[in-house]
Amino acid sequence: MTTTANAVAAMADDIIDLTPKERMIRKAKSHFGFKFGAFIVISFALIAIFAPLFAPHDPYLQDLAKRLVPPVWQEGGSWEHILGTDALGRDYLSRLIYGARISMGVGFGAATLGCLIGVTIGLSAGYLGGRVDQAASFLLTCQLALPSLLLAMALVFFVGSSVPTLVIVLGVLHWQYYMVVTRTLTRQIRSLEYVAAARSIGSTDRQILFYEILPNLFNQIIVVFSLEMAVVIIHEASLSFLGVGVQPPTASWGLMIAEGKTMMYFKPYLVVIPGAALFLLVLAVNLLGDGIRDITAPESRN
Amino acid sequence: MQPLLEVQDLSVTLKLAEGEMTAVRDVSFTVNRGETLGIVGESGSGKSVSSMAIMGLLPKGTRTQAACLRFDDTDLLTATEDQMSRLRGNKIAMIFQEPMTSLNPVYTIGRQMTELMQHHKNASKAEARARAIELLEKVGITAAASRLSQYPHQLSGGLRQRVMIAMMLMNDPDLIIADEPTTALDVTIQAQILNLLKDLQKELNIALIIISHDMGVVARVSDKIAVMYAGQVIETGTVANVLQNPVHPYTQGLLESIPIPGQIEPGGELGSIPGLVPSLKTRFKGCRFANRCTRVQDACIEESVALRDALTGQAYRCVLPFQDLMAPAAPEGHEAAGSGHVYGSRIDMEATPLLSADAAECVFQVSQGMFSAPKPLKAVDNLSLDLRKGEVVAVVGESGCGKSTLARMLLGLQDPTNGKVTLDGRDISAMSNAERSRKVQSIFQDPYSSLNPRRTIGEIIRRPMALHAMGSASEQQEVVEEIMERVGLPRNFYHNYPNQLSGGQRQRVAIARALVLKPEIVVCDEPTSALDVSVQAQILNLLLELRREMRLTYLLITHDMAVVEHIATRVIVMYLGRVVEIADARSIFKSPKHPYTKALLKSVLTPDPGAGVPSIELGSSYPNPIDPPGGCTFHPRCEFAEEICKAKAPLLEHLTGQQSCACHMVAREVV
């Protein structure tokens, strides 16, 4: 009894003595969602970056003699094309690997851009209030009233389709949630006493925003980021599916689903494989986001 | 006759995410009809959980055990949910702390009052309405019939609490449980509500349980008292017995830590209990108070103690015989440390003031709706004030009197609309942040919101130095560690986050942060109002010590006159943005002049058993600052008011020494 009590006490002291960084590492090591999410996201990122090393074939090479070869686990499949080939005889695994570049690039890029825009607007609206807040809220209402996918289609159509265009268009259209969340939280935090305390020790507005307020928004921003990234990847897929996103023969997961849809009933693997990859990435990003939130939050002690 | 409510060996175990927590253990008490039981304890002592157990309001998954838990003829332990809901609001009524949140804002008070009676008693609408009007009149609400159609937000806090009480009386309850009924109210309203409860209880012969952290409240209204600590009753008996001859070291310490006007040598230290209330998650072995007790013995740590009788009539929970406990403890050496110099002796009143406000005014434009033009709200009205080196100036007033706005102006966080604030002879709004913050610092009211939850204690205390680039990183860390030791924070807190600290420890962090730049003036905005009584005494003592050591000047903002007498040298009483009286502390307490000052002084409830609650004759409630009464703003509540008070605002007139007062009646020597 006494020994267990002592052990518990010793453990508590131990935790108190750790620096914040050590405590974070300890928490990260025991967080399953974080480890799983990080593993998937990092491996996908590595595969995308070093696509030529991983891809067994040229993703653009057509071989009509070998069109619609099923994946290896189905009847008629071969180890040469593990995930089979598409309607033009291109290796499906290679296309999936190259497609990861587009999907992840667009996903991270657009979600980051949206984050920058949304957090900036939200912070200024919440902190400054008054006219700035009214203007920001008006902007938000306008944005929410627009059908964003239609707008994205129109914009991409006019500007011309390319990956940077996609990132910018999708980024500019996905800042609302960041803005709403940061604005509300900033308004709450602004009236807390630690902001007044920061001012009385001589902090400027900028120092208050970046040192006192922003770190406290981190949890919520991370969660929104993981959600928005998933949404953006799916939007990119929708745009590609509708033909205004990535142009063939470039591979993207969305485009692969779009190309496979005509044969979905006969060759379901054409849709299921890129769909599964997309699902896994989105799941991993969400788990990673939740994990980062749990680890960095000082409020949770375990 | 068997008591109305009998609680014997009640234990409550709550289920938490991290495991189980026994919030209440072996608590016993009884209440008779017409009797008042006071339950007093600090936060986390389990006093509210006990009352929730009686009401059957604990969350699901809670284990309630007791040898007996009986109300009238009902066994509350085995009662079905149906039986319980017939008791609640009918036979047992509960009054909560926060009247705004316990009344539903979307229904009129009439509907809320009549609904209960229609539901429980099958009364007709007309009957219920008649009863509601009768009760509203009984609790002292004028124009009762018209109030029924009002919504809670249209009533002031004091009125809301009266409505709440009237509502609880609708079904003739036999027992009323009042959980901190006056904590959210202003001090002048508190006395009125307590008197009301007491009168009603006598008249209707009901049993009353008052739960409070405030010894004064409990002492004044209760017949019996139970002192709770860490989930146990550690001393219980009649109020006179327990408060006049406390047996348990905790009760003794608690009573010593309450500042009582006129009893403590000014500037002397308050008695305080070292350490903290233990977390209820701890696995207790032995006496729960052992780690803070000055008379701790080996036996205390080994075995737990049962409640036992002292011959003086109360029961207590301690291994030592009561005769030993009641003998005065060995001198602790903390008295006389103050050598009583807080009063003006060393302060040079002729010196140029460090900080002064000259006819400062602060007006906010408040818009009351989308289409109405914004109305001006004068938070601070034509206020002049000088703060000289070494002074402790207290600004006293109720909520809404503008004291916090005044503090913000003096800190340079709010520019005055008119007039100016000067620091060391220079206009404060013209000073840079850096320059100003080295001279004036502040300590805020709520230690839970004044520390950034994302920064470690070390980072928080070091931040002011980092901002002003004072010294290298290692030098800064040295200073931080030095000051942490000075304010009594263990060194290993450096890397902790604020949420791992208790309220008192957080307030020490806030003090350390304010002092790290070595300012001359510290503005303390209600520095102890969010803290428990025993911790309040620790913090006040610390502030006094630091003042002596670092030659600090304090501006103390508070509503608590008892705290003021303990540490202030000069007192400013504010009412609706104006100064009504200003004087040195001695004169304020010996010969207060303004009727409002007198009322405030009367509102201090010392733990004086049987003294009753003083009646404060302040007619209506605190006016809305946006629509202040004309003439003397205090006239609607003043018993001496005459025609001139309604017509003309009085000016602050010098009386004697340092005392000035703004009152027509004082000037004419009527009062």
Domain boundaries, chain B: 446-518
What is the pLDDT at residue A189?
Answer: 92
In this predicted structure, the answer to whether residue A28 has a pLDDT above a threshold of 50 is yes
Supply angle C-alpha B557, B562, B567, rounded to 5: 60
Side-chain half-sphere exposure of B550, counting CA atoms within 13 A = 24
Q: Record the tokens describing residue B49, joined without a space.
A: 């959980």
| pLDDT score for B306 | 81
- Indicate yes or no: CB of B446 within 8 angstroms of CB of A218: no
Query: What is the model's pLDDT at position A299?
Result: 60
Q: What is the mean pLDDT of residues B563-576?
A: 86
Burial environment of residue B27 by CB neighbours within 10 A (0 to 12, 13 to 18, 19 or more): buried
Distance between CA A274 and CA A95 in Å, rounded? 10
Sign of the CA dihedral with B465 first, then B469, B473, and B475 last? negative
CA distance B616 to B103: 26
pLDDT, tens digit, for every residue of A63-73? 777 777 788 78
pLDDT reported for residue B332? 44
> What is the number of other CB atoms lying within 10 angstroms of the CB of residue B534?
24
**Where are the domains positioned within chain A?**
27-296
Residue-wise pLDDT for A129-154, tens only, equals 888 999 999 999 998 898 888 888 88
Verify whether the Cβ–Cβ distance B440 to A200 is below 8 Å.
Answer: yes
The answer, yes or no, to whether residue A17 has pLDDT greater than 60, is no
* pLDDT band of B663, cuts 50, 70, 90: confident
pLDDT above 70: percentage of residues in chain B: 92
Closest residue by Cα to residue A99 from A286, A254, A294, A297: A254
Nearest by CB to residue A201, choosing from B455, B464, B496, is: B464
CB contact under 8 A, A197 and B456: no
A219 touches B at CB < 8 Å: no
Rounded mean pLDDT, B458-472: 88
Q: What is the pLDDT of residue A10?
A: 38
Q: How far apart are CA B437 and CA B459, in angstroms?
A: 18
Chain A residues with CB inside 8 Å of B449's CB?
192-194
Q: How many CB pairs under 8 A join A and B?
A: 86
Write down the pLDDT at residue A301. 43
Q: Cα(A286)–Cα(B175) distance, rounded to whole angstroms? A: 53
**Residues B520-528: what's their mean pLDDT?**
88
Which two tokens mark B206? 């009901």
User: Band of the pLDDT at A187, cuts 50, 70, 90?
Assistant: very high
Could you please state the CATH topology (level 3) that the domain comprising A27-296 is classified under: MetI-like fold (1.10.3720)
Beta strands in B137-217 (DSSP E): 175-179, 207-212
Return the higher-pLDDT residue of B98 and A34.
Answer: A34
Contact A298 B446 (CB under 8 A): no
Task: Flag whether pLDDT at A54 surpasses 80.
Answer: yes
Return the higher-pLDDT residue of B466 and B625.
Answer: B466
- The token pair at A126 is 């919440």
Q: How far is CA B349 from CA B266, B268, B353, B425, in A?
A: 19, 22, 8, 16
- Nearest Cα neighbor of B280 from B557, B12, B615, B551 is B12
A193, B445: Cβ pair inside 8 Å?
yes
pLDDT exceeds 90 at position A285: no
Given this model, what pLDDT does residue B80 score?
86
- Please report the DSSP string for chain A in residue order: -HHHHHHHHHHHHHHHHS-HHHHHHHHHHT-HHHHHHHHHHHHHHHHHHTHHHH-SS-TT---GGGTTPPPTTSTT-BTTBTT-B-TT--BHHHHHHHHHHHHHHHHHHHHHHHHHHHHHHHHHHHHH-HHHHHHHHHHHHHHHHS-HHHHHHHHHHHH---HHHHHHHHHHT--HHHHHHHHHHHHHHHTSHHHHHHHHTT--HHHIIIIIIHHHHHHHHHHHHHHHHHHHHHHHHHHHHHTSSSPTTS--HHHHHHHHGGGTTT-THHHHHHHHHHHHHHHHHHHHHHHHHHHH-TT---
Which of A200, A215, A216 is the closest to B441 by Cβ? A200
The reply to whether residue A202 touches residue B463, judged by beta carbons under 8 angstroms, is no
- Return the pLDDT at B670: 67
Average pLDDT over residues A182-200: 90
> Could A216 and B411 be called an inter-chain contact, meaning their C-beta atoms sit closer than 8 Å?
no
- How long, in residues, is chain B? 671
Mean pLDDT on B489-517: 86
Which one, of B480, B544, B542, lies nearest residue B505 by Cα? B542
* Distance between CA atoms of residues A167 and B249, nearest Å: 70
Which of 464-483 (B) contact A at CB < 8 A? 464, 467-468
- Per-residue DSSP letter, B88: B
Given an 8 Å threshold on Cβ–Cβ distance, is A20 in contact with B456? yes
Contact (CB<8Å) A298/B413: no
Among residues B52, B44, B10, B46, the alpha carbon closest in space to that of B27 is found at: B10
Mean pLDDT calculated for residue range B163-182: 87
Q: What amino acid occupies position A212?
A: E
- Between residues B530 and B218, which one has the greater pLDDT? B218
Chain B nearest-CA residue for A18? B495
List B36's β-bridge partners, or say none. B208
What pLDDT shows up at residue A132?
Answer: 92
pTM: 0.79
Measured CA to CA, the distance from residue B353 to residue B349 in angstroms comes to 8
Per-residue pLDDT band for B261 (boundaries 50, 70, 90) equals: low
B421 forms beta bridges with: B357
- pLDDT of amino acid B493: 84
Average pLDDT of the segment spanning B587-603? 86
Which band of pLDDT confidence, cut at 50, 70 and 90, is reported for residue A302?
very low
Q: Which residues contact B154 (CB under 8 A, 6 or more apart)?
A: none
Q: Which of A201, A206, A211, A220 to mutate to test the interface with B (most CBs of B within 10 A)?
A: A201
> CA B612, B616, B621 angle in degrees (round to 5)?
130
Q: Measured between beta carbons, which residues in chain A are less than 8 angstroms from residue B463?
A: 198, 201, 211
Share of chain B above pLDDT 90, in %: 8
Task: Kindly state whether A3 is in contact with chain B, defined as any CB-CB distance less than 8 angstroms.
Answer: no
Residue A201: is its pLDDT beyond 80? yes
Task: Give B621's pLDDT tier (boundaries 50, 70, 90).
Answer: low
pLDDT of residue A125: 94
Residues of A in contact with B495 (CB under 8 A): 16-20, 23
Contacts of A197 in chain B (CB under 8 A): 442, 444, 450-451, 510, 513
What would the pLDDT profile of B77-88 be if each residue is shown by its tens digit?
A: 888 888 888 888
What CA–CA distance (Å, rounded) separates B83 from B94?
A: 17
- Cα–Cα dist B538/B503, whole Å: 12
Q: Which residues of A267-297 are buried (b: 16+ CB within 10 A; e: fewer)?
A: bebbbebbbebbeebbebbbbbbbbbbbbbb
Chain A residue with Cα closest to B456: A20
State the angle between helix axes of B157-169 and B109-121 in degrees (0 to 180), rounded to the nearest 10. Answer: 10
Q: How far is CA A212 from the centre of its chain?
A: 26
Does any CB of chain A come closer than 8 Å to the CB of residue B505? no
Q: Do residues A273 and A96 lie in contact, with contact meaning Cβ atoms separated by under 8 Å?
A: yes
Asked whether the beta carbons of residue B453 and residue A216 sit closer than 8 angstroms, the reply is yes
In angstroms, the Cα distances linking B563 to B336, B510, B587 are: 18, 19, 16
Give the pLDDT band of residue A178 (cuts 50, 70, 90): very high
pLDDT in tens, B318-359: 888 777 777 765 444 344 334 344 444 466 777 788 888 888
Chain A residues whose CB is inside 8 A of the B433 CB are 199, 202-204
The answer, yes or no, to whether residue B623 has pLDDT greater than 90, is: no
Q: Average of pLDDT values for B121-144? A: 85
**Residue B194 pLDDT class (50, 70, 90 cuts):** confident
> How would you class B21 by CB atoms within 10 Å of its CB: exposed for 0-12, middle for 13-18, buried for 19 or more?
middle
In Å, the largest CA–CA distance within chain B is 78
Res B10 pLDDT > 60: yes
Q: Indicate the average pLDDT of chain A.
A: 83
Q: What is the DSSP string of B557-580?
A: EES-HHHHHHH-SEEEEEETTEEE
Of residues B89 and B356, more confidence is placed in B356
Paired tokens of B391? 């002074």
Per-residue model confidence (pLDDT) at position B292: 81
List pLDDT tens digits, range A205-261: 899 999 999 988 988 898 898 888 878 887 887 888 787 877 777 888 878 887 888
Position B120 pLDDT exceeds 90 = no
Q: What is the mean pLDDT of residues B149-163?
A: 82
Pairing of strands B308-309, B578-584: unpaired
CB-CB neighbors (< 8 A) of A13 in chain B: 492
- Identify any residues that bridge with B224 across adjacent strands, giving them in sequence order: B37, B238
Is A26 in the B-facing interface, judged by CB distances under 8 Å? no
Q: If you search the block for the tokens 């409830």, which residue do you land on?
A: B605
Chain A residues closer than 8 Å to B451 by CB = 194, 197
Identity of the residue numbered A174: H
Q: What is the DSSP letter of B258?
A: S
- Give me the mean pLDDT over the B490-496 stretch: 84
CB count in 10 Å sphere of residue A151: 14
CA distance B513 to B498: 13
Mean pLDDT confidence for A40-59: 87
Task: Name which of A13, A212, A302 is nearest B452 (Cβ-Cβ).
Answer: A212
For B413, which of A20, A199, A211 is closest by C-beta distance? A199
What mean pLDDT value characterizes chain B? 82
